[in-house]
Amino acid sequence: MNDFLRFEKITSFLHIHEDIWRYEILETYPQHLAPYPKSWLDELRNKSDEELYEIDINCQSHSVQDNEFKEYLDTIKEYSNIDYIEIPEHRDYPSWAFFKVKEKKVHEIQVIIDQIQNLKEKVPFNKIVDIGGGVGHLSRTLAHYHSIPCTSLDIDEQFQEIGKKRLEKFPLPKGANQVEFVNHDFSKNLEEALNKKIFSRDSFSIGLHTCGPLAKHHLNIHLQEDTCGILNFGCCYNRLDPRSDVNLSKKANESPVNYSPYALTLAARGHDSMDFEAFKFKRTVKLFRYGLHIFLREVLKRDDIYAVGDSHKRYYSNGFSSYITHKLNELEIEHEICVSEIDNFFETKREYLLDMFYANILRWQLGRLLELHILLDRVIYLNENGQEATLKRYFHSQLSPRNLGILSIKKS
């Protein structure tokens, strides 16, 4: 499926299921379950823990009987299936090249370098700019071991100081090139002179995990300065402004997706990384959190509290009353309700709270499609502005779950 067709299909699917993804389940009190088909919840109620886990983590429909429910899961799986070709890692670097660099980062750097090498033939760049380069691992590897001059751009001076010291720590190979650290917020004013110098027509820039709106600024500086190309990986979609940072392309604006902050948080969710035990623990966390929410409203008549923060694992092991007592202390809410009443409340609500958890499983599946809508919209926006842009999965999911990258190069 090409990017354009995938975008159209995802857009229609998101429109159909807007009631599910637009609001977090807690936000719709007392109609928490209203957007969720009753027959789907009925079916989830009768599933084993293993079957629930397969649906929640892998969007797996094998155990599902209801045809519409099956189609819902299968469609999400089909639309979010992006081709992935694993690139063999080249380990012919000296032992110190990746000294104290995490496995995830080493993997990402090697994949990106492979891409850059393939691009050399096609894209006439003379230097690389690493946006949000931090301590400069990517720039250092590219410059020292692949002889490409690099600028590592970041607003964090402390990271850059660590990076500068490291440049002098180990012997340089023959033909090593320069790494320049530039401390700069390029996104404040895209038009400023320093940006024009850094993002020149012979530069290619990489944004590895550009948080929230930083990715949009990366796209725009590429267009504005007519640079050779970019490779961009977005993250932290919850930091995007639903009014101005999504639905960027003309195509998206023909049928915009009505993002909310809750939808953007769902788009930023993690993928594939929870084991079976963690899934069962997540259920306890959700049941207690949902229970607290209803307890506050129905027993204590407090409907002004939403954010309650996370709790340490130990507060979930001694039952609901122990969790509630701890939470009410933290929130400085006085009450005279005894432990047995609290536990009794939980028991009477258990079935309903479980339904909320099942509803959460249904909603959770749409996270990847929301992420894909955001990213494909960026791809189409670049194409509409004269670039050759594509979306691909670059990294191994287990090592680096935020693995969808946009490659955009100037049309020749």
Ligand X SMILES: C[S@@+](CC[C@H](N)C(=O)[O-])C[C@H]1O[C@@H](n2cnc3c(N)ncnc32)[C@H](O)[C@@H]1O
- 186 contact partners, CB below 8 Å, separation of at least 6: 131, 153, 194, 195, 198, 199, 217, 221
State the nearest-atom distance from the C-beta of 401 to ligand X, in Å.
13
State the nearest-atom distance from the C-beta of 194 to ligand X, in Å.
11
* CA–CA dist 80, 367 (Å, integer): 10
DSSP state of 229: E
370 in contact with ligand X (CB under 6 A): no
The residue count for the chain: 412
- Which of 35/405 has CB closer to ligand X? 405
CA dihedral 1, 111, 264, 54 (to 10 degrees): 70
132 in contact with ligand X (CB under 6 A): yes
State the nearest-atom distance from the C-beta of 274 to ligand X, in Å.
22
* CA–CA dist 345, 280 (Å, integer): 22
156 in contact with ligand X (CB under 6 A): yes
The pair phi, psi for residue 222, each rounded to 5°, is -60, -45
211 in contact with ligand X (CB under 6 A): yes
Which residue stretches of 235-300 are H helix? 250-254, 261-267, 276-294
- Which of 35/134 has CB closer to ligand X? 134
State the nearest-atom distance from the C-beta of 270 to ligand X, in Å.
15
153 in contact with ligand X (CB under 6 A): yes
Q: Which stretch binds ligand X (CB under 6 A): 164-172, 190-198, 208-216, 387-395?
A: 208-216
Q: Which stretch binds ligand X (CB under 6 A): 204-212, 266-274, 344-352, 373-381?
A: 204-212
Among 33, 82, 123, 155, interactor with ligand X by CB under 6 A = 155
For tokens 């407090």, the residue is 302
Q: Which stretch binds ligand X (CB under 6 A): 14-22, 130-138, 300-308, 357-365?
A: 130-138
Per CB under 6 A, contacts with ligand X among 37-96 are: none
369 in contact with ligand X (CB under 6 A): no
Q: Which stretch binds ligand X (CB under 6 A): 42-50, 52-60, 182-190, 308-316?
A: 182-190
User: Which DSSP string do the residues of 7-73 spell out, in sequence order?
Assistant: HHHHHHHHHHTHHHHSS-GGGGTT-TTTTS-HHHHHHHHT--HHHHHHHHHH---TT---HHHHHHH
The continuous run of DSSP H or E covering 79 comes out as helix 67-79
3-state secondary structure of 333: coil
Q: Which stretch binds ligand X (CB under 6 A): 32-40, 58-66, 148-156, 298-306?
A: 148-156
The continuous run of DSSP H or E covering 182 comes out as strand 179-183
The pair phi, psi for residue 409, each rounded to 5°, is -125, 155
- 108: tokens are 């990402």
Total of residues contacting ligand X (CB under 6 A): 16
State the nearest-atom distance from the C-beta of 37 to ligand X, in Å.
38
State the nearest-atom distance from the C-beta of 160 to ligand X, in Å.
9
With beta carbons less than 8 A apart as the criterion, state whether 399 and 107 touch: yes
State the nearest-atom distance from the C-beta of 406 to ligand X, in Å.
15
190 in contact with ligand X (CB under 6 A): no
Among 209, 286, 302, 410, interactor with ligand X by CB under 6 A = 209
Among 14, 76, 208, 324, interactor with ligand X by CB under 6 A = 208
- Which of 211/308 has CB closer to ligand X? 211
Among 185, 298, 343, 384, interactor with ligand X by CB under 6 A = 185
Neighbours of 37 (CB within 10 A): 15
- Which of 185/388 has CB closer to ligand X? 185
- 83: tokens are 């081709």
- Which of 7/186 has CB closer to ligand X? 186
At 345, the amino acid letter reads: F
CA dihedral 43, 44, 49, 52 (to 10 degrees): 110
Q: Which stretch binds ligand X (CB under 6 A): 29-37, 185-193, 255-263, 351-359?
A: 185-193
366 in contact with ligand X (CB under 6 A): no
Residue nearest to ligand X (CB): 132
* CA–CA dist 187, 155 (Å, integer): 10
Among 186, 262, 290, 381, interactor with ligand X by CB under 6 A = 186
* CA–CA dist 310, 331 (Å, integer): 12
Per CB under 6 A, contacts with ligand X among 218-277 are: none
* CA–CA dist 283, 314 (Å, integer): 15
The residues of the shown chain that bind ligand X, judged by CB under 6 A, are: 105, 132-134, 153-156, 159, 185-187, 208-209, 211, 214
